[in-house]
Amino acid sequence: QVQLVESGGGLVQAGGSLRLSCVASGRTFSNAPMGWFRQAPGKERDFVASISWNGGTTYYADSVKDRFTISRDNFKNTVYLQMNSLKPEDTAVYYCAARGGIGYPTQQEANYNYWGQGTQVTVSS
């Protein structure tokens, strides 16, 4: 059974940092693009960042560019999201996602086949 399990969320003051982790099990995703999405209360789930299978290509939403960094460790089957200079508007449930196979690190939610259960990030002002 394929599972993506996020961790690292929590409560932080504005300007602080958090590092999210997503560990995959049940199969390897070393050849698959992965991404992070987030959903704020009352809003749709939005793209945050994505990364190619080898980490060579990354994409970011404009709202997090220069503050967030996505990375991966294929030996550990893990993807990370380093979040710096956090703002109250970053408050959301953050979801890890993986594509089912070789492909482009798309920003489109529909292209991701596997999802984690989410981890809450709350940024206080």
Question: What integer pLDDT is reported at residue 109 of this predicted model?
Answer: 95
Question: What integer pLDDT is reported at residue 28 of this predicted model?
Answer: 83
Instruction: Extract the tokens encoding 25.
Output: 């099990």
Please give the mean pLDDT across all residues of the chain.
Answer: 95
**Which residue, among 86, 68, 83, has the nearest Cα to 8 in the 3D structure?**
83
**Which residue, among 89, 85, 77, has the nearest Cα to 31 in the 3D structure?**
77
Question: What integer pLDDT is reported at residue 36 of this predicted model?
Answer: 98
Q: Give residue-wise pLDDT tens across range 54-78.
A: 999 999 999 999 999 999 999 999 9
pLDDT above 90: residue 100: no
Compute the distance between CA of residue 30 and CA of residue 54 in angstroms, rounded to an integer. Answer: 8
